[in-house]
Amino acid sequence: MTKQSLLKLYEDYLQQNPEKEYVRNLNFDERGRDESSYELIDSAQIQGNQILRDENLPRHLTTEQLYRLDEKYNHELKWKILESDVTEEQIEIFEQENDITLPEQFRAFILGYSFLQWRFAPKCVAFEEFLRISYDEERDAHRVLTDKEMEQGLVANVLVDFYGICNPNGLQHYTDEGWESADLVESIGLIHLGVINREEWLFLDCETGEVQSWQHDEIALEAESKEEFEEESEMGYFWFKDFDAFLKWLYGITVYDFKKGLEEREEFYQSYHQGE
């Protein structure tokens, strides 16, 4: 997507989900730490709040400081979308260190905007072979769908924890050596984007540009080739032809259809291998 398209995607999402603009919805743990593991937050994200006009804020806040500040003001702080502070130079270094070339759509995404929201509940067409549970965002819990709901083709929600871009963390999730999947970037060119329903890991394949979920064994994280990773893993339920298709689903533009996804994946693989 173009930068303008990305901004519209985020703005439309917040307009349709106004509660998500509040800092209180950033999923803090009992100590006020953001569960997404962002280390710092750019204070510019909240400086537009008039109630903070007398606060002398530091350039960056820890997530715990952000939480306490929001608590001080009765959890009424709103954050705004900022331009990403990731630079072309940082991307070039990342590519050189990992011997990869980032897909253009993903490159545009990380150069786009800092968007604090990282927990989503996108929709899928309930399909027994693939999905018989739905995520309730208010309760932060899953429930099993009834036979009647399945027969009616209920549109269900899934929980997606997505590792995006947050100033000044930049490429933190994709470069942190302590991140358990970080080695897969260097060895295979797979970038860990997030987790679906707390069990399927989402990866962007830098070679093909596709986004695929995987149910993996821990040993797969030590794989030194794509063949070894695939041998130790099992494909998950979700597949997207490219990063933009994934983003459109994540932000509620599309509803995922498992049958259609299988067909598109088969067509993609046939076309990709014919072109090799």
Amino acid 230 reads E
Do residue 51 and residue 122 come from a single domain?
no
pLDDT tier, 180 (very low <50, low <70, confident <90, very high otherwise): low
Last residue of a domain, one of 11, 44, 78: 78
State residue 181's pLDDT score: 64
Mean pLDDT along residues 239-250: 96
The SS3 of residue 40 is: strand
- pLDDT the model gives residue 129: 61
First to last CA, the chain: 26
Mean of pLDDT over the chain: 87
Are both 37 and 107 inside the same structural domain?
A: no
Q: Which residue has the tokens 């994540």?
A: 250
Measured CA to CA, the distance from residue 30 to residue 38 in angstroms comes to: 16
The stretch 245-269 carries a mean pLDDT of 91
Are 149 and 261 in the same domain? yes
Whether residues 54 and 134 share a domain: the answer is: no
- The pLDDT of 184-210, averaged and rounded, is 89
Between 206 and 275, the higher pLDDT residue: 206
Q: What is the pLDDT of residue 179?
A: 57
User: Sign of dihedral through CA atoms 172, 177, 178, 183?
Assistant: positive
CB half-sphere exposure, 32, CA atoms < 13 A: 15
Band (224; pLDDT cuts 50, 70, 90): confident
Q: What percent of the chain has pLDDT over 70?
A: 92
Whether residue 104 is contained in a domain is answered as yes
Asked if residues 202 and 77 have their Cβ atoms less than 8 Å apart, the reply is no
In a domain, 4, yes or no: no
The pLDDT score that the predictor gives to residue 22 is 95
161 belongs to a structural domain = yes
Q: How confident is the model at residue 173 (pLDDT cuts 50, 70, 90)?
A: confident
Calpha distance 208→106 (Å, rounded): 12
Q: Helices (H) and strands (E) in the chain — how many of each?
A: 10, 14
Q: What is the pLDDT of residue 134?
A: 77
242 pLDDT more than 90 = yes
**Residue 58: cis peptide before it, omega within 30 degrees of 0:** no
Give 273's pLDDT tier (boundaries 50, 70, 90). Answer: low
Q: What is the mean pLDDT of residues 168-195?
A: 78
Give the end of a domain, one of 43, 78, 113. 78
**182: Cβ–Cβ under 8 A, 6 or more apart, which residues?**
174, 175, 176, 192
Domain identity same for 184 and 68 = no
Contact 184, 190 (CB under 8 A): yes
Domain count across the chain: 2
CA–CA separation, 109 and 123 (whole Å): 22
Asked if residue 276 has pLDDT above 60, the reply is no
In a domain, 120, yes or no: yes
Is residue 91 over pLDDT 90? yes
216 belongs to a structural domain: yes
Give the residue ranges of DSSP H helices in 111-179. Answer: 147-151, 172-175
The more confidently predicted of residues 224 and 250 is 250
The whole-angstrom distance between residue 272's C-alpha and the CA centroid of its chain comes to: 25
Sign of CA dihedral 41, 47, 49, 51: positive
Q: What is the pTM of this model?
A: 0.90
Domain housing 52: 23-78
Select the more confidently predicted residue: 172 or 189: 189
Q: What is the per-residue pLDDT for 17?
A: 93
pLDDT tens track for 34-51: 777 688 899 999 999 999
pLDDT in tens, 4-19: 999 999 999 999 999 9
What's the pLDDT score for residue 176? 67
Mean pLDDT score, 162-189: 77
| Co-location of 167 and 50 in the same domain | no
List pLDDT tens digits, range 113-156: 998 888 999 999 877 666 777 788 877 788 887 777 777 667 88
Looking at the fold, whether 154 and 266 belong to one and the same domain comes out as yes
Q: Counting Cβ atoms within 10 Å, is residue 124 exposed (0-12), middle (13-18) or buried (19+)?
A: buried
How wide is the angle at C-alpha 38 spanned by C-alphas 211 and 225, nearest 5°?
35
Which CA distances in Å does 14 have to 6, 9, 227, 255?
A: 13, 9, 40, 18
Check if the beta carbon of residue 200 is closer than 8 Å to that of residue 237. Answer: yes
Give CA–CA dist 171/149, Å, rounded.
Answer: 41
Distance CA 43, CA 40 (A): 9
